[in-house]
Structure 1
């Protein structure tokens, strides 16, 4: 059976490993917030996503994700500066939930790329 075509606002559990040793990228299985649109994801094996971490971070390129505020079972910190293309056709992933992508997350992404 084919897996669901992921869309913007889907949270999935996936590992982005393996990673080179000694780097600072997120490792291990964790939740990721998909920010690319379903139309794009339907035509590509990749989704653009942002990893969650349970570590509290406080710098301009992160977003604190409060479970209650977002009516979500996922919580933690979104590391927007680690926006990544994930090949979901080649990795084992599972669907966690569907949420709205906060405007603040889009603002951070746009600021990183210098537009808007």
Structure 2
């Protein structure tokens, strides 16, 4: 049986890159040109990664956004249940990338999700 560590550990650098881009965006006012440029950079980055990697980011982001206790016995089960709820229509890659890129604070949601799954990733 696969563990959550085996599933996600080779993607840590990808997650860190998204966290960094989102953190950089958070340093600017929402109305600034720099903020908009960072938002476009995040979106384009997400559009250009593998679809399943995008779905991993989306899943972890929502796990981090959820403040309630997990109703699952394991972190892997929690991850898989959330991931399965998003489907796998690759035609939605751009719209999924947009939905993720617009989340605020993405870096905190992603970092919290990784922490809940057992990865100690700085994100604030």
Provide the TM-score with structure 2 as the length reference: 0.27
In terms of fraction of residues, the more helix-rich structure is: 2
The structure with the greater share of residues assigned to strand is 1
TM-score normalized by the length of structure 1: 0.28
